[in-house]
Amino acid sequence: MSAEGGRGAVRFVFRALPQKSFSCLQDRDIADRLLKWSMQGRITAQAFSFDQQFKPYQKDEFLMAFFNDQSVISSLKLLSSSGQWTTLGSKVTKIEATLVPCTQISMSFFDRLYSEGVVRETGTIVKCYDDYYDDILISDELRKVLLLEDSDHYDLFSQLDREEFLFCLFKHFCIGGTLCQFEDAVDPYLETTKAFYKDLVSVQKNPETKEIHIISTVFRVSAYDANGLCYPSSKSHQQTFAYLIVDPCKRHVNILYHCFGGSLFTN
């Protein structure tokens, strides 16, 4: 899905919510892991509010309004090519957004890793001979499942499974940044994934069935200005990402941003 500028009147007005903190980014253990995975100082989460009711069919208008709102332009964080935090700074002319399925409500989604020789019962990840995929080192069966379509266990997760926001987060943390030090056990990846997912996604309980379901709509977004791709970075990489997560009830937008590279110590 691609949204072009200049179509229709902008109805949505946004406001930055700097007071909203994300506990996943305040947690000391998670901070230590992100440093080890070469993501610390390159990942951030932000929140914004908006003033109109959101309907999924309005996504083009909504996203264009978001990226061209003055509050967003002046406060949406991104890393410059020199590794300094800056803000969006200027209006965008085009947005590409992919709707990311977000239906999973349990970490049992990953239980299949234990039953097929990828992760031992103890949580230890099974090692393999070193291989590479797009300059990413693969030294265990978990990364083979995530990256290599011809691996023995790739079919553990269907294409639809792999599109789920929960899976995307897990994969991002497992792969990490430029100097990622991989874990020997799967638990740190699962715990970090759960913490971020819980912080970013909103759920609601059905009063009749008592079942919990997710009400958030998730987009993976890229924005372009007159010079080309400008957000989340001018350089495209599978580990450079921005997810925009809309809570239609609270009228909040959460942004999860990461720019691939070596770890930075300041945020």
Looking at the structure, tell me whether residues 55 and 93 fall in a common domain.
Answer: yes
Report yes or no on 235 lying in a domain.
yes
Looking at the structure, tell me whether residues 99 and 111 fall in a common domain.
Answer: no
Report yes or no on 209 lying in a domain.
no
Q: At a CB cut-off of 8 Å and minimum separation 6, what does 59 contact? A: 1, 3, 97, 99, 217, 219
Report yes or no on 206 lying in a domain.
no
- Which strand (E) or helix (H) includes residue 197? helix 187-200
Report yes or no on 126 lying in a domain.
yes
| Helices first, then strands: H and E counts in the chain | 9, 14
Looking at the structure, tell me whether residues 115 and 192 fall in a common domain.
Answer: yes
Last residue of a domain, one of 166, 200, 234: 200
Tokens 């990364």, residue?
143
Looking at the structure, tell me whether residues 95 and 112 fall in a common domain.
Answer: no
Looking at the structure, tell me whether residues 64 and 195 fall in a common domain.
Answer: no
The residues with which 124 forms a beta bridge, in sequence order, are 185
How many domains does the chain divide into? 2
Distances from the Cα of 260 to the Cα of 20, 78, 188, 199, angstroms:
25, 12, 20, 22
d(CA 153, CA 75): 43
Looking at the structure, tell me whether residues 99 and 118 fall in a common domain.
Answer: no
pLDDT of residue 6: 44
The residues with which 133 forms a beta bridge, in sequence order, are 136
Phi first, then psi, for residue 171 (nearest 5°) are -65, -45
Looking at the structure, tell me whether residues 185 and 229 fall in a common domain.
Answer: no
Report yes or no on 208 lying in a domain.
no
- Short-list 163, 146, 157, 73, CA closest to 109: 157
Per-residue confidence in pLDDT tens, the chain, 267 aa:
444 444 445 489 999 999 999 999 999 999 999 999 999 999 999 999 999 999 988 899 999 999 999 999 999 999 998 889 999 988 899 999 999 999 999 999 999 999 888 999 999 999 998 888 888 888 999 999 999 999 989 999 999 999 999 999 999 999 999 989 999 999 999 999 999 999 999 999 888 888 999 999 999 999 999 889 999 999 889 999 999 999 999 999 999 999 998 755 543
Looking at the structure, tell me whether residues 140 and 225 fall in a common domain.
Answer: no
- Burial (CB count <10 Å: 0-12, 13-18, 19+), residue 116: middle
Q: What domain range includes position 122?
A: 107-200
Report yes or no on 210 lying in a domain.
no
d(CA 27, CA 22): 9
pLDDT of residue 81: 83
Last residue of a domain, one of 151, 166, 200: 200
210: left (phi over 0), alpha (psi -120 to 50) or beta: left
Looking at the structure, tell me whether residues 187 and 248 fall in a common domain.
Answer: no
Report yes or no on 137 lying in a domain.
yes
Looking at the structure, tell me whether residues 243 and 175 fall in a common domain.
Answer: no
pLDDT of residue 267: 39
Report yes or no on 76 lying in a domain.
yes
Looking at the structure, tell me whether residues 146 and 76 fall in a common domain.
Answer: no
pLDDT of residue 264: 53
Q: Indicate the pTM of the whole model.
A: 0.92
